[in-house]
Structure 1
Amino acid sequence: MNYNDLFHIIDDKNRIKLGKDIEDKYLSDALNRNKGEADVLVFPINTDEVSSIMKFAYENNIAVTPRGAGTGLVGATIPTKGGIILDVSLMKNILELDENTLTVTVEPGILLTELQKFVEEKGLFYPPDPGEKNASIGGNISTNAGGMRAVKYGVTRDYVMGLEVVLADGSILNLGGKIIKNSSGLDIKDLIIGSEGTLGIITKAILKLIPKPQKSVSALIPFNSLEEGIDTVIKIIKKNANPTAIEFMEKDVIENAENFLKLKFPCNYGQAYLLLTFDGDETFEIESNYNKVKEVALENNALDFILLDKKEDIERTWKIRGALVTAVEAVSEQEPIDIVVPIDKSADFINYTKVAEKEFGIKISSFGHAGDGNVHLCVIRNGMEESQWNEKSKLLLQALYRKGKELNGLPSGEHGIGLNKRSYFIDVTDEINVEYMMRIKKAFDDKGILNAGKSYSE
């Protein structure tokens, strides 16, 4: 295929890389274990360029793999069919802050940490808070990222008010807007959110903001067992204490992160922990809420209730929480899992992981978002011989995903399916569901050139 026409679209030769000039990092994802191949890597800087690139790809039946910051964990940015990698990381502008409608309009390449810093300096707040702060907003939208604050504030979908999307044939859709309600036909915007680049390429997003909470504190609650901690979560939620986040972690995965970051966790006793945050504008309300939780926790075998109200203690503790996956990956190959189950089934699922750990002889570390049933697991290789690891880990993952389905859960709460989890997703998803996803794909991308082979897509 002759890609010379791309040089008429992208007039800056530094924004096009051909074949052997493409760095390996653009052929993989954050885990950097699997690598694909591509003919060309392009860096558009505006919607018109994205549209022209897609028209070229459509007319020539060329596969296109969209890419942002490359922080994904499921292989969604790995090019499997050659063709074009379309990297939107240079499209990172904040286009408008509208304080009258409490919205911000951004390009897809802006990083979450940059957006949050910008709006918080204006006294505003963008609540979605996945663990990877250097992910791009386009990637967050493409996976419907959740994170720690989902229990109180919801997930990315709840803050996307409008999208500009380039389709496979180069057409441009404008969806939603600065409106709070919409009962005007099908909401195509909600199909794009979570579609992992299989339906279109996001080139602009209008995001909802809220006033920034004036005060925030955290609390750490140690338990003798993870089961005791998880069993307490439902009781905390029923107490109407309105926590911003409820996280759970096991001691071994925390120790990994402590060693990795050279930081000290505030508590060294107990085998498992709940970590909560409370925010708001009134000190009395926050104190009332965390005291409700303290009462419930101590009534349910908690070893302690440690209030973290100093900024440095809060930041250090949440930094350790945010580094759990990275810390495990630094010492051993591992498979990250983010199965989500109904909140009242979280304990059942975690109990099963302990059974599966013994049955398959593979170490599993647990942590996650206890307030919304999103269980994160690290299935750890620990030096196991490669052929044995490949065989055993595959059987273990199949068992875990099937257990998730048995408990009325789903394969992914926020990472997406991508390439790595596709076979497990297909295995536990009703055929008719996948069939209708493919029909929708066909309507948006009749030639199947956008991120083929990812998630539900063939």
Structure 2
Amino acid sequence: MEISENYLTNRVTGEIGQATAIYFPTSQDDVVELMQAVRKNHQKLITIGGHTGLSGATFPDNNQVLMSLEKMNRILKLDTETMTLTVEAGVTIAEISEFLAETPYFYAPDPGSKEASIGGNAATNAGGMRAVKYGVTRDNIRAMRVILADSRELQVGSINRKDSSGYDLKDIFIGSEGTLGVITELDLKIQPKPKFSRDILLGFESLTQLSPKVFEILASGLVPATLEFFERDSMSYSERALKLDFPDLSGQAFLLITLDGNAEQQLENELDYLASLSDEALILKDEQTRNAVWQLRGAIASSVELESIQEPLDVVVPVNKIAPTIIALKQMAIAADLSAIFFGHAGDGNIHANIIKNDLTDEEWTEKLEAYLDELYAYVAKVGGKPSAEHGIGLLKKPYFQKYIGTSELVAMKAIKRAFDPENILNPGKIFDL
């Protein structure tokens, strides 16, 4: 098991952190051995994956020991009878896609970073663009092997398709951000690739015009594989970064929709229906145009980062509150003299808001951002939303999570933490304070 000195920078805040050491286990036995040593030495442990997190969940803020699972990166077994793929936690989403590329199967979740590890995806319950049809990470994991703080191994979930046998321990660990145990191995749900896929782009004059169409699509019985929204000002960042042109389609707000399935004529009929929802509709038949549009959509956040420091948010609200929430948050940003862009997943209410520093001084940025975030999270809570849809809470959203979660819910979460990790060894201080 390799070890090295480790100094890390929080990629979101720029804050410098220092860990006591970083270990690179190559097996589950190594993980157990390290867990025992950490307990014996009265240290704290943070598990890290692909370094793609956006909430500070793996940031060492108090000389903790870091354990990187990047070398536990073996794909262990493809079982086509139970439709499961068994992998170690350090395997990346890109590696899973590459492995399955020559098979008739695919792993459905499609989070933004393809270099993220599957263990990290499970730890944050990552979502992605295909969640509206195929669900989030939680819906695509059948079972996991977890090492607890006292170094015991725990099997959670099973490869059975139905299971009503006691508490669902698997779902407790998914989304726990490494605070309850170390996920070392996962049995992923895979499924047959659809034979056909079609994409369409719809343009609208405003989000107010776009919003009712989302409800109409969802109520029609049609289940898109993706249902993405963005505005023209968001797309301009990607165009500059990638040097690609967005299609010549009128409008200020857009829906990018993917349909997939095995009945080609049905997809064509559904495309006709979607095209009827807007005077500005473009079916992306040309592969080059289709790829360019998806590259532009996928690069929004990273393209903003090339031009300015930003605060990336991933709030979620009920689907009928998307448009009014974005309008309200935009007005708040204007009043605070802050630049902001908004995009996200229309089918599940996940709004990505990127607050942009531009030419503000560090002092102005900090003061304005803190005031804006206080207002933003208060509004999201008021409409029934939550502070994170798929990035997790970590350190950055912890104050707002603790402020707006119900008292009884927070007490219950702390009780679960104490039951699995009574000495508070694993990722202490993340999500909430004990």
Q: Which one-letter code corresponds to 1:321 in the other structure?
A: R
Q: Aligned partners of 1:220 and 1:327: how far apart in 2?
A: 21
Asked whether the 8 Å contact 1:247–1:369 carries over to 2, the reply is yes
Name 2:307's counterpart in structure 1.
331
1:113 to 67, 73, 94: 94
CA drift at 1:272: 1.5
Name 2:380's counterpart in structure 1.
404
Name structure 2 gaps, 5 residues minimum: none
CA drift at 1:29: 4.8
1:151 aligns with 2:142: no
1:430 to 406, 410, 422: 406
Name 2:340's counterpart in structure 1.
364
Name 1:160's counterpart in structure 2.
141
Name 1:69's counterpart in structure 2.
50
Q: Which one-letter code corresponds to 1:440 in the other structure?
A: I
Superposition pairs for residues 305-344 of structure 1, below 5 Å? 305-344=281-320
After superposition, the C-alpha distances for 1:178-222 in whole angstroms (9 at most, x for unaligned) are: 111111111111100000111011100001111001111111111
Name 2:247's counterpart in structure 1.
266
Runs of 4+ in 1 over 4 A off after TM superposition: none
Q: Aligned partners of 2:13 and 2:194: how far apart in 1?
A: 37
1:236 to 214, 217, 220: 217
Name structure 1 gaps, 5 residues minimum: 1-9
Q: Which one-letter code corresponds to 2:289 in the other structure?
A: D
Q: Aligned partners of 2:208 and 2:329: how far apart in 1?
A: 12
1:440 to 406, 416, 426: 416
CA drift at 1:443: 0.7
SS in 2 for 1:37: strand
Asked whether the 8 Å contact 1:239–1:293 carries over to 2, the reply is no
CA drift at 1:270: 1.7
SS in 1 for 2:16: coil
Asked whether the 8 Å contact 2:275–2:282 carries over to 1, the reply is no
CA drift at 1:32: 6.6
Superposition pairs for residues 31-50 of structure 1, below 5 Å? 31=12, 33-50=14-31
Q: Aligned partners of 2:17 and 2:67: how far apart in 1?
A: 14
Name 1:215's counterpart in structure 2.
196
Q: Which one-letter code corresponds to 1:424 in the other structure?
A: Y
Name 2:105's counterpart in structure 1.
124
Question: How many aligned positions are there?
Answer: 434
2:259 to 274, 278, 281: 278
Q: Which one-letter code corresponds to 1:16 in the other structure?
A: I
SS in 2 for 1:228: helix
Q: Aligned partners of 2:290 and 2:17: how far apart in 1?
A: 40
1:415 aligns with 2:391: yes
CA drift at 1:268: 5.2
| More strand as a share of residues | 2
Q: Aligned partners of 1:83 and 1:225: how far apart in 2?
A: 48
1:304 aligns with 2:289: no
CA drift at 1:332: 0.9
**Percent identity of equivalent pairs:** 40
Name 1:7's counterpart in structure 2.
none
Q: Which one-letter code corresponds to 1:396 in the other structure?
A: Y
Q: Aligned partners of 2:30 and 2:354: how far apart in 1?
A: 40
Q: Which one-letter code corresponds to 1:58 in the other structure?
A: R
CA drift at 1:30: 4.4
1:345 aligns with 2:326: no
After superposition, the C-alpha distances for 1:241-294 in whole angstroms (9 at most, x for unaligned) are: 221111011111101011111122223532121111011112111111122222
After superposition, the C-alpha distances for 1:126-172 in whole angstroms (9 at most, x for unaligned) are: 11111111111011101111111111111110111000001112111
Name 2:150's counterpart in structure 1.
169
TM-score normalised per structure 1: 0.92
TM-score normalised per structure 2: 0.97
SS in 2 for 1:279: strand
SS in 1 for 2:108: coil
Q: Aligned partners of 2:399 and 2:343: how far apart in 1?
A: 24
Q: Aligned partners of 2:10 and 2:190: how far apart in 1?
A: 30
